[in-house]
Amino acid sequence: MTYSGWHCRKKSKLAICLTLFDIIVISSVERTLAQSNIVPDNTLGTETSRVITNSDGLPIENISGGAYRGVNLFHSFREFNVDEGRAVYFTNPAGIENILSRVTGRNRSQILGKLGVLGNANLFLINPNGIIFGPNASLDVNGSFVVTSANAIQFGEQGFFSASFPETPPLLTINPSALFFNQVGAGSIENRSIASAGVNSTGNPVFGLRVPNGQSLLLVGGDIALNSGGLNALGGRVELAGAASPGTIGLSFNDSNLALTFPNQVVRGDVSLTNKAFINVAADGGGAIALHAKNINLSGGSSLNAGILAGLGTPEIKAGDVTLNATQAISLSQSSRIINQVSQDATGNAGNINLQTGSLNLTEGSQLNARTLGRGNSGNVFVDVSGAVTIDGEDSNGFPSGIINQVQRSAIGNGGDINIKAESLTLTRGSLVSASTLGRGNSGNVFVDVSGTVTIDGEDSNGSPSRIMSLVQPFAVGNGGDINIKAESLTLTQGGTVTASTFGKGNSRNILVDVKGAVIIDGKGGNYSVIANQIQESAVGNGGDISIKAESLTLTRRGLLSTATLGRGNSGNISVDVKSAVTIDGAEGEDFVSAVRSEVAPSAIGNSGNINIKAESLTLKQGGFVNTSTLGKGDSGNILVNVSGALTLEGVDSSSVTYPSRIASQVLPSAIGDGGDINIKAGSVTLKQNGTLNTAIFGKGNAGNISMDVKGAVTVDGKNSDSFGGFIATQVTESAVGDGGDINIKAESLSLTQGGSLTASTFGQGNGGNIFVDVKGAITVDGEGSNGFPSGINTEVAPSAIGNGGDINVKAESLSLTQKGTVSASTSGQGNSGNIRVNLTMPTSKLILSDGARIQASTLGQGKGGNIQIEASDSVNLTNDAKISVNSQGQGNAGELGITTGSLTLRGRSRLLADTVSSEGGNIQLQVRDILLLSDKSGISTTAGQQGAGGNGGNIDINTNFLVAVPSENSDITANAFEGRGGLIGISTQGIFGLKKRESLTPLSDITAFSQQNPQFDGEIVINIENPDISNELVALPTNLVDVGRLITQGCSVGRVITDKQESQFIVTGRGGLPPQPGEALRIPAIAVHGSTFVAEKQDQSPDITTTPLVEANGWRFDEHGQVILTAATTSGSASFGTQQRECHGF
């Protein structure tokens, strides 16, 4: 008969099987055959073992005899060795299931040839001194094989079969139950066998020690070493266990499989596989590997192999697990592998890979690999490590070290999960943890749970980064798995990557990071370090989300958080929730910068995801940015920032380099889609040195809105900026089609300085957005940047644009514009300018413009200029060339300007303007409670046709208590026109001082409304001097008016008698002609009122008071010097006093 390459012949009832190698050896030795060194002892008494040498003339020892105990047969030897080229067989009497052979001598056993059983019994070889299998050692057994250097084998409660204390075995009739070690430093077991062992079920050769398929092969001793040797139990079980201290290792029988139970209290020895040593249990199902040791080391390309072989299996079949348990360390190096797989064309599910140890090291291309290449699911990988997991580098062929779970190309099935629990996890030099699908099926998940740090660093020699990833690979159909990282901290450096992506047809899943401390993503070394979730080019599916929860998050020197779609599908969202600081630092000098971004790439179809950042503070500097964008067909996502403290954006902007730090949502060129909104909630917001907040359209779609809700100050500063400084902007750019977004700011205060700005503009086809500012305190707009651009709040329709400009609405306690600071709504293209409304309604609210500052709603194109409405409870003050204007420099009409305030002051060439170059002048309406003051060439104008063109002058409506100007300082109020009709000027006041209505402009302060080309078109000036109602302010005067004698100086005397006809009179004129005392000057202010006289005639006693009431001035006129004289209605009644006229000497 033939079995696995053996040549057999039968003599009596004994089958003798020889390999071809054996036959060659027999031929060479001919008659002088050496025997193996097998020496029975006498511990079994009359049941001693018997050795028959050179059986049938062949190099074979047959062992018979022994002690029969139920299903067990016991042998005992002083020496037991199998020489190379020889075979040793144990006879297997009927009814015997277990053959147990002990060595009681002091030497280890050397198995250099064949060891077998002539039957189906399990074989146990026990030598406390150790056992070695040589390179040509082989097995010929039909049952399981147990090799141990234990001192004894226990049989439940029946007793022991001991090699250290040999005696005739008692009634040991049951299966062995345990292996007993009673010494420190048990003998080692070593396997070097690479002998041919037939073929497997697929016809591939098998080498090394082999038990029949489905049986068990156990090596249990001190240290266990496989040096180039192989162990095979296809579909069965291979178990290695090292014991280094006294103790008991449990042994159990489960049908044909034997398994060990290793207690924790037993100190373990080491297990090592070197020089391409291997353990193989792969078959058509089943097959398990278990290793128990202090240290487990696989090196030199060694491997553990389990799973279902090619072409084998059924759908319900499952392969066994690979389990390693090491109390100290598990190390795989030099391309070593642990594999559990469903092979190509196989059917069934792969088993799991389970590792439990103190530390795990995978280096030089070594891998844990669970995969399916056929029809079925791959198994899970469980790594439970009390200390560090270190995965490093690649092998000489470029294969990385890693933990891998895959659905391979052409496979149909789902990938398994990867679970890593450890104190720390470190991936370096291109190593990886990967769950992916290349076939038809879903990728598994990756779970990392470490109590310390996860570190992912560097790249391999080919530029591939160290990474944790879950992928749907090209041509695959299926969904990716989640990546879940829980740790004390997470650090990605020099290209370190965490990624979940799809290249095929299917969705990528989520990346979840939950750490107690810091997340650091640092691209030091010029490589991006990144956490990314992407739909790659040609892929169809939706991207998953990225969620970061930590104490702090730092992205620096090309550190990235990124979701993107390059194919067809929506990219995922990014959520950051940290207790303290988020820092995004681009690191000056890098070509590419750090960012949190979500985008739709060119040619992609889908929406980008939202970005949500919650923290105590957020700092973007040296080019760091937060961005959602679309370059394809799809909408850009929203950005939500919620920080309890400071939001700071600080760029780099100099003559040599510009790195703006920004938060932006954009529809980029050639894209079709809407931009996302930016929503900021913060304790304070600071933008400086090219720090920007921006939504923009470069393609086709609407820009998003910007909303800010800030408890403290918003500061936008352009200091040291050579480009556009700090700004908050929404834009429709040139060649874009769509509407701009709104800007809405709510804060304690707002400061725009040195070129800082708020801007909503359109340069393309679409309307610009609106700007809303609502602050409890002050708004400060000051200065200009080094590029000459002023600080400001601006809405704009640019020259190339078609669309209307947005409105500006400002609400604050006070607004101060200085050093060319501006609030501007303008149009230079085809569209109307937006309106401006300033609402300063606190009792002390003031509007201040100085040193060239401007509030303007202007048109330079075809559109209409916008309106300006200003309400300031206390005052509006313009000084030093400040202007508030609604003028038109193009074909459109100027807007309207309205101001309501307590007092209005224009000084130093400051102006209120509704002028036009060639169109209708705008209107100005002023409601001033107290006084309107003009000085130093200041003015109010609605003049039309300033460049000699048509257009009617606008109207001016002024309502104030007093209108005052310095006469000689040429401060004018004008509603003139060049060709058109002059406007209407209406003034309602209690008094006008220093201005005069004139028909033309003079060097003095004028009020004019003329038409320069045609006097018939002169406008109209209506001045109404109001008579105030003082009825509620009347008081009763005393009966005795006054002693007029006290009001006439006694310094004048007369020297003659005066007749009645010569008597003088004392005349009281109006209500302000007398000083309190005759020797005093008249106090300022004083108003002379010319009206009828009240004459006091001489009487002996004070006259009665007439009942005629006091009357305020209710009219006015100009004298010859242009002075305003107030007049009142005649007051009847006179009184003559009896004082004689006296001459005053000296007159």
pTM equals 0.83
Residue 526: which region, alpha, beta or left (left: phi > 0; alpha: psi -120 to 50)? left
Distance separating the N- and C-terminal Cα atoms of the chain: 168
CATH fold of 24-172, please? Pectate Lyase C-like (2.160.20)
Q: Who contacts 401 (Cβ-Cβ below 8 Å, separation ≥6)?
A: 332, 362, 363, 364, 365, 366, 367, 391, 392, 393, 394, 395, 431, 432
pLDDT at 1108: 46
360, 403, 426, 429, 918 from 387: Cα distances, Å: 8, 17, 11, 21, 83
Residues in the chain with pLDDT values less than 50: 1-33, 1030-1035, 1037, 1041, 1051-1061, 1070-1074, 1078-1108, 1110, 1129-1147
| Other residues' Cβ atoms within 10 Å of the Cβ of residue 658 | 16
Cβ pair 1018, 982 in contact under 8 A: yes
What's residue 952's pLDDT?
Answer: 85
pLDDT, tens digit, 9 for 90 and up, residues 234-274 = 999 999 999 998 999 999 998 778 999 989 889 999 999 99
8 A C-beta contact, residue 848 and residue 882:
no
The string over 604-643, giving b where at least 16 C-beta atoms fall within 10 Å of a residue's C-beta and e elsewhere, is: bbbbbbbbbbbbbbbbbbbbbbbbbbbbbbbbbbbbbbbb
* Alpha carbons 1029 and 1011: distance in angstroms, whole number: 38
Q: Using CA atoms, how far apart are residues 228 and 134, in angstroms rounded to an integer?
A: 10
> 535-556: b or e for each residue (b if 16 or more CB lie within 10 Å)?
bbeebbbbbbbbbbbbbbbbbb
Domain coordinates in residue numbering, the chain: 24-172, 807-1026, 1036-1147
The backbone torsions φ and ψ at residue 498, rounded to the nearest 5 degrees and listed phi first, read -125, 120
Structure tokens at 273: 């596989």
In whole angstroms, give the CA distance from residue 560 to residue 3: 62
Neighbouring C-beta atoms of residue 737, cutoff 10 Å:
17
Query: Cα–Cα distances in Å, from 176 out to 228, 266, 290?
Result: 31, 19, 19
Residue type, 553: L
Residue 202 neighbours by CB under 8 Å, 6+ apart: 309, 310, 311, 312
- CA 1135 to chain CA mean position, Å: 92
DSSP state string for 282-309: -BSSB-EEEEEEEEEEE-TT-EEEEEE-
Instruction: Give me 841's structure tokens.
Output: 């309604």
- C-alpha to C-alpha distance for 813 and 840, rounded to whole angstroms: 5
Residue 962 and residue 976: Cα distance in Å, rounded? 23
Contact status, residue 894 vs residue 859, Cβ threshold 8 Å: yes
Phi, psi of 1048 (to 5 degrees): -115, 130
Contacts of residue 94, defined as CB under 8 A and 6 or more positions apart, other chains included, come to: none
Query: What gap in Å lies between CA 182 and CA 164, rounded to an integer?
Result: 9
Distance of CA 616 to the CA centre of its chain: 14
Q: What angle (nearest 5°) sits at the alpha carbon of residue 753, between those of residues 747 and 756? A: 80
pLDDT at 14: 35
Cα gap 930→932, rounded to integer Å: 7
CA 679 to chain centre: 14
> How far is 1091 from 197, CA to CA, in rounded Å?
139
User: What is the predicted pLDDT for the residue at 370?
Assistant: 96
Q: For 798-907, list the strands marked E by DSSP.
A: 808-811, 814-818, 822-827, 836-840, 846-850, 854-859, 868-879, 883-885, 896-906
Q: What is the predicted pLDDT for the residue at 509?
A: 92
Asked if residue 319 lies in contact with residue 287, where contact means CB atoms within 8 angstroms, the answer is yes
Distance CA 101, CA 75 (A): 4
User: Using CA atoms, how far apart are residues 437 and 408, in angstroms rounded to an integer?
Assistant: 6
- In 333-466, the DSSP E strands lie at 337-342, 353-357, 360-363, 367-372, 381-385, 388-392, 402-407, 418-422, 424-428, 432-437, 446-450, 453-457
The SS3 assignment for 90 reads strand
The pLDDT tens digits of the residues spanning 16-27 come to: 344 433 433 333
Cα–Cα dist 1115/20, whole Å:
141
For residues 584 and 555, the answer to whether their CB atoms sit within 8 Å is yes
What pLDDT, on a 0 to 100 scale, did the predictor assign at position 720?
A: 65
Q: pLDDT at position 308, please?
A: 96
d(CA 698, CA 283): 61
Q: How many CA atoms lie within 13 A of 1030 on its CB side?
A: 12
Rg (CA), the chain: 51
Q: Give the contacts of 1123 (CB within 8 A, at least 6 positions apart).
A: none
The full length of the chain comes to 1147
Task: Check residue 142 and report its DSSP letter.
Answer: S
Residue 901: alpha-carbon gap to chain centroid? 47
